Amino acid sequence: MDAAIVAEVDRFLRGKGKLPVNTVANTIFPQSTFDRHGTPAFYDVYLEKVLPRIKRSQADWGRSFQRMISFPSERKGETINSLAGMVEKMKRQVVSAPCLTDVYEITIYDPVRNPGPVMNRQCLSFLSFKLTDGAPRHLSLTAVYRNHDYMQRLLGDMIGLGRLMKFVADEAAVGAGDLTILSTRAEIDTVGTSRDIRALIERCVAHGAFVKSGVCGVDQAAILLG
């Protein structure tokens, strides 16, 4: 993704007092923690050092990665690292014959922690990874959101999901493929006015945004974004 476009959106969000793009991305995959510590050490570093800071600064929001690596077990007081378990299963399968291509899923929604009307602020609900048939294998990822604020969160979520998919693909020694996001409910204009958003689109179009998708002008981009 073009760094200039990410920077434009980041400046826009910061100027409105919203979270930076990278902060949102890190809730899905803490890239800098992984870069410094690698696998498997970064799992424990995240839980022991990063997560306490998140709890202090963001209350209950922003814990999707925690759910991936520390999901409550049926045994009281124990947790499951769903991400690590899925990666190990995938690594075994890609060198097996036949290779199972559709058995890699991670649940974010927790019926124990999310039983009532307050959803604990985790908008990401479910992740489904798929391997392509035959060599060379590629990995695709579909992410399901119960609620999505496109202006405040979508770009950061896309970056975080892309980083997560690359991590899994690299660990399993396969290529990274398609990313699909299903937002079962979405909001567009929760940050600034329509004039603010149009000006942001103009700046992004100037950097080449939307061209690859066939949307080349400001008016067309505005229609695309709602």
Q: Where are the domains of the chain?
A: 3-190, 193-226
Residue 8 CA to residue 1 CA, distance in Å, equals 12
Look at residue 92 and give its three-state secondary structure. Answer: helix
Calculate the average pLDDT of the chain: 86
Range from 5-9, 202-206, 214-218 carrying the lowest mean pLDDT:
214-218
The most confident of the ranges 29-43, 146-160, 185-199 is 29-43
Which spans in the chain are helix H? Answer: 3-15, 21-26, 31-37, 41-45, 51-58, 64-69, 82-94, 155-172, 194-206, 218-224
pLDDT-derived band of residue 117, with 50, 70 and 90 as boundaries? Answer: low
- The pLDDT value recorded for residue 100 is 96
- The pLDDT value recorded for residue 83 is 98
Average pLDDT over every residue of 81-86: 98
